[in-house]
Copies of this chain bind each other. A is one copy, B any other.
Amino acid sequence: MASEKRQKAIDLSHHLSDVSRARETSPLKGLSKFLGKPGLIVLAGGMPSEAYFPFSGISGDALVADSFALKPMEQESSLSWFWKLFSGANKEKTHTITIPKFVEHPAEEVNLAVALQYGTATGLPQLQKFMKDFVDKVYQPAYDDCTIMVHTGNTDGWSRCMQTLMNPGEKFLTEEWTYPSALASSKPYGIYPVPVALDKDGMSSAALRNVLAGWDATTQGKRPHVMYTVPVGQNPVGSTMGAARKKEIYEICVEYDVVIVEDDPYFFLQEGEYVPKASRPESVDTVSEESWLAGLAPSFLKFDYQGRVIRLDTFSKYIAPGSRLGWHTCNPMFAERLERQAETSAQAPCGFGQSLVTKLLYHWKLEGYTRWLHGIATQYTARRDWFIDCLAEELDLKATTSTDVSFWKDCVVYDAYAKPSGGWMMSEKGSVGTKLLSFVPPSAGMFIWLKIHFDNLPAYKRQGEGEESPEIQLWTKIAEAGVLISPGWFFAADVENPPTDELEGHFRISFSNADFATLKKAAQIIARETNKFFKA
């Protein structure tokens, strides 16, 4: 795939915003034609002397690439760091990587004299090369000149895309439930989302076509020409868009000339189907890294024969959020505009972070990094399973194939009923047997999305205490009981008209961070408080 030429006849420059068009073509103006000449003495920029950088070298103790098993053992995973730290049980295997200030071959070896100096907004060349090889291997873009541009994380990545592609007053397509920060970025500029309904595969292609085909420019303004989507581990609902749906969506975007911004932080956290604990096999065969990668839902890049996808990748979920490091993959024309934009904001990402991450990746190599990602995916899968298992202990879970007309149609939905007996629940009478909540186990990502059946509340409670919705009331009770989760209304693309009603609340719960024992305690508290809330 990757060797095919992009359809060069497709001119996408009309998608650029006025602000983006107004940027200069190069900040270096006439200087660039001389740069790189051997022996050139450059006294043009305000570069401090490298002799005055106060670090003569930095280093990091990096975990080995296979630190996390591909067959997770819950017991091991549930050890808290605290216990590990003070019991001496920490048997992490590490390798020390070092980045000296000066090296003999600065063009090849990562060094602080370059990484900590001013550089181009495209980032360290070695990092760019690694990411290019990674993108080619893993995402297999459909054209041969796709370009890598570093950014400081996907929130920044989307902000830059938004400002590069849209003018104030324009609207963009997105899932009906979506990442709130993406909206917080655009709203101040008067750029608003147009919600598209979700189904079990993510954004519905039928709904997308309806929105675009039925668009009335006279009453609705300019038809959206940009899509913001989180296709894998959709935030918040946790669905994963497979190849077939992506092709459908892509073709509709070709037809209606839409640029797709693919925000894909959870790509490597594809966790597959949830199998209840009782039915889960005790041991699973591990697969090779190649098979694992081949089994993942593909990126939109794979179908992007016109270069209309800007993909956002981040190291936040795989190295650390504090790396503030990620990258755009897109056509060279968009990449150049994004580079100019970077030059007047954060410029290149931090050189300490870039050099440590780059050196780590070169130490691990492509194979090692893939192994690391596979290990992390396994960990999060175990976390998802564990948290749902915990809920199953507290509530009576029944799996059904939903006939619901909502986005859970044809999904395996778990309905949770107040348990008739057992543990602390014994004393909590009144709600036993009530359907409290339902969820579809996420197939990727960090979150479980619960639907709460407030229509089953006793009538006097449905009307709400004071002016708060039942969702906020229960959310507050759970928080007061010691567990802070996210209320569903945060995630509505259109907060004024959320894709739900007062008697159908939602919560998004993250299973990504707390240790296993804490997740168990949280599941208990959530179940207990929900049960109490539903009591007459």
Q: 9 shortest A-B CB distances, which residue pairs?
A: A322-B351, A350-B350, A116-B322, A116-B320, A185-B344, A352-B353, A350-B353, A22-B188, A47-B513
Is A142 part of the binding interface, using a Cβ–Cβ cutoff of 8 Å? no
Contact, CB under 8 Å: A43 / B352: no
Is A40 part of the binding interface, using a Cβ–Cβ cutoff of 8 Å? yes
Contact, CB under 8 Å: B27 / A484: no
Contact, CB under 8 Å: B155 / A344: yes
Closest CB-CB distance, A237 to chain B, in whole Å?
14
Contact of A155 among B52, B347, B522 (CB under 8 A): B347
Contact, CB under 8 Å: A45 / B510: yes
Is A362 part of the binding interface, using a Cβ–Cβ cutoff of 8 Å? no
Is A62 part of the binding interface, using a Cβ–Cβ cutoff of 8 Å? yes
What are 18 residue pairs bridging A and B, where the CB atoms are less than 8 Å apart in the complex?
A22-B187, A27-B181, A30-B472, A43-B485, A43-B509, A46-B265, A46-B510, A54-B320, A55-B356, A56-B94, A58-B58, A58-B60, A58-B356, A59-B60, A118-B321, A152-B347, A320-B351, A324-B348
Which B residues touch A60, using CB under 8 A?
55, 57-59
Contact, CB under 8 Å: A92 / B353: no
Closest CB-CB distance, A60 to chain B, in whole Å?
4
Tell me the number of copies of this protein. Answer: 2
Closest CB-CB distance, A223 to chain B, in whole Å?
24
Interface residues on A, range: 35 or more
Closest CB-CB distance, A370 to chain B, in whole Å?
14
Q: Which A residues have a C-beta under 8 Å from some C-beta of B?
A: 19-20, 22-24, 27, 29-31, 34-35, 37, 39-63, 67-68, 81-82, 85, 92, 94, 102, 112-113, 115-119, 152-153, 155-156, 159, 180-181, 184-185, 187-190, 235, 265, 316-325, 343-354, 356, 360, 372, 376, 379, 383, 446-447, 472, 479-480, 482-487, 490, 508-515, 518-519, 521-522, 525
Report the bound CA distance from A42 to B510 in whole Å.
8
Report the bound CA distance from A188 to B19 in whole Å.
5
